[in-house]
Structure 1
Amino acid sequence: MDSVLRWLLKLTVALSIIISSTASAQAPMEKANRARGTVAMKLHLLGADLLDELVYRWTKNPPLAQKSDVMVMNIEGPLGLNSNLNAFLENHLFRLLIQHEKSNIVPVHCPLCSVTTAYSSPEGTIIGKGADIPKVSGKGVNARYALYVDLSIERSLLVLRSRLVSLDEQRRVVQAETIATDSGSPPSLRKPDSLVSVKEAREEYEQILRRQGRARLSLGTKISMFNFSDSNVTITPMPWVLLGVDVFPSEQRDWYMNFSLGTTSIPNEFNGTQISSRYATRLLPKYSNLIQPEIFGFVGFEYFQISGNAGRVFTSSGKQSGGDLIAAITDEDTEDRFDSTVLTLGVEVQLARMTRIGVFVGRMLHLRDDTLFGSDYHLYGVEMGVSL
C-alpha cells in the first residue's frame, strides 16, 4: 500500500511539473497573440483612416470630370497579416464611394478582373489579372477605369498608394495618390457618412473631451452605512439622492471640484438633507481619454442634518450605561434632530466621463461621544452617478 501511495505521489508531482512547464511555455505565446491582435486592430483603424482621407480629398478635388464606373480591385495589405484586413478595407472603401458621390467614382465589382486568368488568341496566350487584359476586363463590364489600392508598412509609417488607370489599350494612369500616417498616431475616427478633414476631426474629438465647457451637471446616489462598535445599535443604511455640478478649472481635466445637494428619507426611520463639496484628482491614466476608465481620488466635506430614530442614536449617545442608550433611542421625547460635518476620503472610477462608481469612508467631526464607533472612520459606503 505504501508503495502505491509513493507511486501516486511521484505521479502527481510529475504531472504538476509538466503542467506548470507547459503553462509557462504557453505564456509567451499568449502575450505574443495579444500583442499581434492589438497591432492588427490598430492597423484596421489606421487603414480605414487613410481611406477616409483619400475619399475626402476626392470629394474636394474629383479625379474624374464626370461620374464614371470604376472597377475597384482587391486591396493589397501589408505582408504578414491575414485577409481579414483586406476584406475590411475593401468593404469600407465601397461604403465610402457609395455614400460620397462627389468623388465621381461609381464602384463596380468585377470578380474576374481581380483574379489571375489566362486569355488565348491567335497572337498568343496572356496570363495576368483580368483587369490587365482588355479583352477580359471589357466583357460585360462598362467600367472605363480601374482603381488599385495597396497599403505597406515602411519603418514607422503606414503608407497608402492609389492609382486610377484607364481600361483602354493605353492603360493611362489618370490619377495617383500617396498618403502616409505614423503608426503611433491615433486614428481620426471620422464618420463614413460625413467626412471631414483631419484637423476638423481632431477638433471634434477635443471638443468631446472637453465637453464644450468646464462645468457639467451630475445626478447620483449613494448609500451610507455607520460603523458602530455596539452590535445592538444599528441604523438602516441611508440611501441619498444627489444633484450637483462638476467644475473643471483645467483644460486637461486633471482635477475637478464638485458641489451637490442631497436628500434621504425612509418612513418611520429618518429624514435628512446634506450639502457637500469635494476635490478630486485623476490618478490613472496620465492623460484624459474616452476609451480607458479614469480613476480619481477625492477628499471632501459634507454637512448633513437628520431627524427621526437615526437622529436619536447620536443625540442619546452620552447615555452608555446599561440599557439607557436603547431606552433613549426608543423614547419619543428624546431629541431626534442631529447635524454634523463629515470629512470623506474615497476613490471613484469614471467611464467615458458619463458614468461613475466609487467607494468612500468618512469621519464625523462633531460628536458627543466617540465610543459609539469601533474605529477612526465612522461611516462608509458606495456611490454611483451619471453626468448630464
Structure 2
Amino acid sequence: MTQRRQLQALFFTRFANAFGIVTLLTLLPTYIDLLDPQGFVLGMFATGLTLAQAGTVVPVSYLGDRFDKRTILLAGLALATAVYGLFPLVGSSWGFVFVRGLQGVAATVAGLLGLALVGQLARESERGNTIGMSNSWRFAAAIGGSLSAGVLYDTFGFDAVFGLLMAISGLAFLGVLVWVDPDETTTDGFAFTDLALNRRILTITSFRAQYAVAVTLVRTWVPIFAGVAAARGGLGYNAAVHGATAVAVVLAAEKFTNMLAQPYTGRLSDEFGRARFVFVGGLCYGLVALVVPFTPAIGSALGLPSVFPYFGNLSPAFLPLVALNGLLGVADSIREPASMALFADEGSDSGVASSFGVRDLVWRPGAVLAPLAGGWLTTNVGMEWVFYLGAASAFTGVAAFLGILTVRHGRAGLAAW
C-alpha cells in the first residue's frame, strides 16, 4: 500500500481511540452523579484508566519493536470494541473503575502503536507536520466524541453511546487490516532501556513528568467543574435541560482549537526546532489553567447571560469557560507536535515504539497520582485548588526544562534543538 493510504488508516485509528477516551471523559460527571463516588474512589474514576495504561506501556513497547506492530495494533482495536460493549452493564463505582481499566489497556495498545507507525512512516523533515496532522484527527474525534456523547446520552441513553463506540472501533480494525502493510522494522534486544537514558529524552522528560500533572488535572476537572453540582464546587450544568451537551461544548472548544492549530505548529517546529515550542506551550498552558476557577467572576463582571437557548439555565461562567478551554487547546497545540516529533526523531533508528513508550511511561506517574490529589482537593479543600495545582505543575516543568537546556547549551539553550 502507498504511504498516504497507510497514514490515513492510522489517522483513523487515532480518531477511533480518541473518540472513545473523550466520550468517557464527557460522561464522567454523569457517572459521578449517578454512582456518587467519594474521595479516593472519585480519584480512581480517572486513575483506573491511567493505572492500566501505565502497566501496559513497557510490554507493548517491547512487543511493538520486537514483532509486527500491525498485528498487535489489531489486537488492541479488537479489545477496545469488546470493552465498549461492557460499559452499559456497569452498575457500581468499582465496576466502572474496572471497565475503565480495560479501556486503558486497549487505549494504550491502539494509541502507542498507532502513533509509532505514524512516526515511523513519516519523513524526518516533515515529522512534526505529519504528527500534527495525526493529532488533528485525534482532536476531531474528541470534538465528535464529546458532542455525540452529550446529545446521544441526553436523547437515547448509554446504549446508543456505546453502540457508536463499538462501530467506530470496528471500522478502525478493518481499516488497519485492509490498508496497513505488515511491519518489518523489528529490532533485537530491549531498546526501551537505551532510549530511557538518551540525553535529549532525559531533558524533555524533566518537563513532561511534571507537565503530566498539569494536563491530567485540568483536562479531567474542566468537565467535572462544569458538570457537578454547585454544592460540590462545580457549576452544575448537568442540572440544565441539556446539561451533558453543555459540558460537551466546553470540552469541544479545547479540541477544536487544538485540531486547527497542530498541523501548522508542527510544521513550524520542523523549521525552527522543537525546544522553544515545548517551553512556550507549557508556560501558556499554566497561565490559562490558573484563570479557570475565576470564570464565574469573569462572567458576572462582564454581564454575560446565564440562560442560553437549547441548554436552559447555566451560569454567566459558561462563555468564559468555553473561551478559556479553547485557549488551553491553543497552548497545548504549541507544545505537543514538537514534543512528539522529538521522541520520534530519537527513536527512528533504534525503536520508535520504545521511544514513544518512554514518552508514555514518563507521563503515567503524574497521570495516576494527579486525579487522586484532585479528588482529595475537591472533597477537602475546594475544586479551585485543583486548577492551582495544575498551573503550578506546568510552571515548575517549564522551569526545569529551561534550566537544564541553559546548563547544557548556555543562554541560547532553547534554540539548540
Could you tell me the TM-score, scaled by structure 1's length?
A: 0.22
- Asked which structure has the greater CA Rg, the reply is 1
Larger helix proportion of the pair: 2
Could you tell me the TM-score, scaled by structure 2's length?
A: 0.21
Larger strand proportion of the pair: 1
